[in-house]
Amino acid sequence: RERSSINVRAGIVGDMLIGPHLLPSRLRGHLPRLFEDVPLNTRRQMWFMHDRAPAHFSHHVRYHLNEQYPQRWIG
């Protein structure tokens, strides 16, 4: 029996639905593109939350989150 999986992401910002987006098994920089349709003034108020998995907590990722979501990310 083969095992399969799908990586789907979606979110709610205010009254706006983001997604759903079908993603590859490894994101490799896709995250910023998920928010392209979100107005800039909304993005500036968004908080980002992740699960603190090792890949999500690397120095590179934390630097990016600090740049894009200063004082607005959890994980």
Instruction: At 37, give phi and psi (nearest 5°).
Output: -90, 0
pLDDT of residue 27: 66
State both tokens at 39: 């107005």
> In terms of residue numbers, what domain contains 38?
26-74
pLDDT digits (tens, 9 = 90+) for 2-30: 777 788 888 888 888 888 888 777 766 66
Report the predicted TM-score, pTM, of the whole model to 2 decimal places.
Answer: 0.55
Is 16 contained in some domain?
Answer: no
Is 68 a residue whose pLDDT tops 70?
yes
Q: What is the mean pLDDT of residues 41-70?
A: 82
pLDDT of residue 18: 83
Is 3 contained in some domain?
Answer: no
Is 54 contained in some domain?
Answer: yes
Number of separate domains in the chain: 1
Is 70 contained in some domain?
Answer: yes
